[in-house]
Amino acid sequence: MLLKIYKKLLKYFGKQNWWPADTRFEVIIGAILTQNTNWNNVEKAIANLKKAKVLTPLKLPCVPKRKLCGYIRPSGFFNQKAERLILFMDFLKKNYRNSIPVLMKENLADLRQKLLDLKGIGPETADSILLYAADKPSFVIDAYTKRIVSRLGISNGDKYEDLQHLFQKSIPESVGIYKEYHALIVELAKNHCKKIP
């Protein structure tokens, strides 16, 4: 069922090639900034960080919170998100010498747990980082995905881990498919008024 839906979406919308970002680091920052926020607004925040030339693991921690809030203002919840970015940068420095490649060496289960232990990173943000920044097969469940499964009536509940397992057991364990599927679901949501043949 879920695999069929994936194939249908892929055929209809084509490959999405997510996540839209230049670096793994940018994926992580974007994943935090996009929490309950339109991607369009996140792009403005990312553009501000790039323009200020601080969107790197070594530069970002040097930006005072005040300035950080200013850069990320368009993405909303800027006080909270500045705090969350700072906490992640502390984590990256303390455990991985500010190195994204070193962070990437962690295995999926360990890294997922450590990300979840960070204040401000919940399951969706953690899985977005694991899948799109670290290329690890952790399926992302978002509000749209929950809605779709609920409409189809194929699950008993909407608990995050349960839905993730449902998807992961229904489709091949492939980073490429996981990436595309979630991207296609978001694309479908944007086109909610249209009918898919």
User: CB of 27: closest distance to DNA in angstroms?
Assistant: 7
122-161 residues in contact with DNA (CB under 7 A) are 122-126, 128, 132, 142-144, 157, 159
Half-sphere exposure of 8 (CA within 13 A, CB side): 10
Applying CB under 7 A, among 50, 73, 93, 114 the residue interacting with DNA is 73
Cβ count within 10 A of residue 195: 5
Q: Scan residues 39-68 and list those touching DNA (CB under 7 A).
A: 39-41, 44
| The only residue of 80, 95, 174, 191 in contact with DNA, by rule CB under 7 A | 80
Smaller CB distance to DNA: residue 31 or 60? 31
Of the pair 157, 197, the CB lying nearest DNA is at 157
Q: Of 10, 118, 148, 177, which one interacts with DNA (CB under 7 A)? A: 118
Q: Is 85 in the site for DNA (CB under 7 A)?
A: no
Least Å distance between CB 2 and DNA? 18
Per-residue three-class SS string for the chain: CHHHHHHHHHHHHCCCCCCCCCCHHHHHHHHHHCCCCCHHHHHHHHHHHHHCCCCCCCCHHHCCHHHHHHHHHHHCCHHHHHHHHHHHHHHHHHHHCCCHHHHHCCCHHHHHHHHHHCCCCCHHHHHHHHHHHCCCCCCCCCHHHHHHHHHHCCCCCCCHHHHHHHHHHHCCCCHHHHHHHHHHHHHHHHCCCCCCC
The CB-of-31 to DNA minimum distance in angstroms stands at: 6
Report in angstroms how near the CB of residue 25 gets to DNA at its nearest.
Answer: 14
Q: Which stretch binds DNA (CB under 7 A): 7-15, 16-24, 52-60, 169-177?
A: 16-24
Contact letters (x/-) for DNA, 162-191, by CB under 7 A? ------------------------x--xx-
State the minimum distance, in angstroms, from the CB of residue 169 to DNA. 21
Distance between CA atoms of residues 86 and 150, nearest Å: 36
